[in-house]
Amino acid sequence: MSYDQARWRRDDAPVYEPLLHEKGERTVRPADRDVPLPDELVRDELTLPGVSEPELARHYTRLSQMTYGVDSGPYPLGSCTMKYNPKHTERIAALPDALVHPDRPDEHRQGVLEIYVRLQEYLARIGGMADVTLQPPAGAAGEFTGIRIAAAYHADNGDDDRDEILVTDTAHGTNFASAALAGYDVVELPSGEDGRVNLEALRAAASPRTAALMLTNPNTLGLFEREIEPIASIVHDVGGLLYYDGANLNALLGRARPGDMGFDLMHYNVHKTFATPHGGGGPGAGPVGVCERLVPYLPAPHVRRDGDVVETYAPPNTIGKVHGYEGNWLVLLKAFAYIERLGDAGLLDTSAMAVLNANYLGTTVDLEIPYEPYHHEFVASAGDRDAAELAKRMLDYGVHPPTTKWPDIVSEALMTEPTESERQATLDQLARAFNAAAADDDETVAAAPHRTSARRIDQVAAARDVRLSWQALTGE
Amino acid sequence: MSDEVPDELRYLESHEWIRVDDAAGTVGITAFAQDELGDVVFVELPNVGDTVAQEDQFGVIESIKAVSDLYAPVSGTITAINENLFDQPELVNDDPYGDGWMIELELADASELDALLDASAYAEQIA
């Protein structure tokens, strides 16, 4: 590692920020120990990062400056609902009182269980469901849990021929993956010309082999599925279940309930709708709500009231465990604190502002938006430009770009969801970024971003040489 | 390069080629197809001993732009797969008619070749 012309270099390549031990190392010799260890596990010397406190502070400050988060500016990643994570909920989760070991007996952790059961009740009320499990550790894990519940239900009814899950062509990729992982064949339904479920295509696909239809509403184009009642009837008439992908629940929060639309089960993305951190892979939470006839299949342990106390138990036909204990406690606590803080009125404001913000931004962006009227998000088309390149150019204007190139039914898609967190001035800033990028010349756009810490990263190498775990430098 | 269509090969409309030597066939995708896909990052191939029918899917190819199914030009039994593609999928881009081959198979019915496009018909399709 060398420092040359105001830039760190590793071998001959520039590095944005070295690893800590590349900045400095020190060797320590552990004191004699009394702990008996096998010889091959004993080291006489340990090489650790050796830097001064200012170097350490600068290292982490530099890393935080090189990235971009919702605390840096607007983050309108469509379908991801990158709403602001209130510091209020972080503070509550950081309270010493929140540190309760899950192995303590139920009677020693009544406070935790009370919060769980209340969160279950809140989510059930919000979704129009009979009961909710908090156990799944992510949205996709919630989908998998929901589909396993559907499978257990069909198996209990002797319905062994159901081997298909129907998914629309605008559905989140996780729907296809969760259905396949749960052992089903996936049947993709082409959307109608209006971007919604095509009832004819659904009728043709629905059969006694249909285990479930997975649907999000509003869909990923931000369009409300107006024909949800006929859709529910078609699926129910063949004995299938209707699964609600809660990714877009923010648009409906407090205003319409999946359970009232005929959905039998659903998941909630607490990192979207209830403002917990997205977490970059975890820990997260993806609670699953079910209608009355599916309650016996919920994962164990489940939490319920029994008179004045709250207890854990195993539902009679449980699909088993999908994660440790009752779920990721501190994430669920933040979701609980968010709901408590906002209350009914605040939750109603959330969906209203989310839809208003998307519609305001949509009218101020100079790009075509083929499908309307949209709710919490819209999908603009970059037209004859490359959506990914236009998005990279938006980085130069100081904002995070929208989701790109998906869903496929909009050419060069820019899927945009500003969320309720932003005020008008910030939405105007976003619109200027869209419009300025769209007006820039091809050469500038093709080489963008010009002003970020890292410019074009090697996407091909990243995809071809996937590294899914940390790997040490060899130090040679 | 991207419009190269070797005369000695036969083609499917879905851009697979087959080179036939007696009852053995070698299959890959065309220069045009790899160019349209862009940088290939992953190739999924069948197992040796699997059988495929003409125009059945035998594998999947993924580039940074798209994921596409791979179709068998003829029916047969897989006798070899190009395992180099697992570590070096870029061979499909670099040498689509050579080192970027995907499967070898033993033809079940040589008359199926008659249904395939010849070089001039395929060249016309991609023109």
Q: Is the ipTM of this complex over 0.90?
A: no
- Higher-confidence position of B66 and A217: A217
Residue-level pLDDT at A253: 96
| Run of H or E residues at A233 | helix A228-237
CA atoms within 13 A on the CB side of A270: 38
Report chain A residues touching chain B, CB-CB < 8 A: 459-460, 463-464
The CA distance from A237 to A217, in Å, is 21
All residues of chain B having their beta carbon less than 8 Å from the beta carbon of residue A459 are: 64
Contact residues of B toward A, CB < 8 A: 39, 41-42, 64, 89-90
Task: Give B77 to chain A, closest Cα distance, Å.
Answer: 25
* Domain locations in chain B as residue ranges: 10-112
Candidates B64, B84, B86, B90: best to mutate against A (most CBs of A within 10 A) is B64
Q: What is the DSSP letter of A106?
A: G
A chain contacts of residue B39, beta-carbon cutoff 8 Å: 460, 463-464
Interchain pair A460, B89: CB under 8 A = no
Chain B neighbors of A463, CB-CB under 8 A: 39, 41-42, 64
Contacts for A319-325 with beta carbons within 8 Å, 24 or more apart?
A319/A145, A319/A148, A319/A149, A319/A152, A321/A135, A322/A135, A322/A136, A322/A137, A322/A141, A322/A144, A322/A145, A322/A148, A323/A135, A323/A136, A323/A137, A323/A141, A323/A299, A324/A102, A325/A102, A325/A135, A325/A301
pLDDT given for residue A281 in this prediction: 61
For residue B1, the distance in angstroms to the closest alpha carbon of chain A comes to 21
Give me the domains of chain A, ranges plus CATH numbers. Answer: 20-66 (no CATH), 87-340 (3.40.640.10)
pLDDT at position A473, please?
62
Q: Running DSSP on this structure, what letter comes out for residue B103?
A: E
Angle between helices A424-439 and A329-364 (to 10 degrees): 60
> Angle of helix A387-396 relative to helix A424-439, nearest 10 degrees?
120
Q: Which CATH architecture has domain B10-112?
A: Beta Barrel (2.40)
Instruction: Provide the shortest C-alpha distance from residue A306 to chain B (in Å).
Output: 52
pTM of the model: 0.87
CA–CA distance, B51 with B78 (Å, rounded to integer): 6
CA atoms of A459 and A444, how far apart (whole Å): 19
Set of chain B residues whose Cβ sits within 8 Å of the Cβ of A173: none
Closest CA to A371 of A339, A335, A312, A411: A411
Query: A460 vs B39: CB contact, 8 Å cut-off?
Result: yes
Nearest residue of A to residue B89, measured between CA atoms: A464
- Within 8 A of A460 by CB-CB distance, chain B residues are 39, 41, 64
A225 is written with which tokens? 């599925």
Show the low-confidence residues of chain A (pLDDT under 70). Answer: 5-6, 33, 280-282, 473-476
Instruction: Measure B94 CA to nearest chain A CA, in Å.
Output: 14
What distances in angstroms separate CA B22 from CA A56, B73, B97, one per listed residue?
68, 16, 18
Q: Which of A275, A211, A217 is nearest to A82 (CA)?
A: A275
Tokens of A191: 């959307």
B38-68 as b/e: b if 16+ CB within 10 A: ebbbebebbeeeeebebbeebbebbbeeeeb
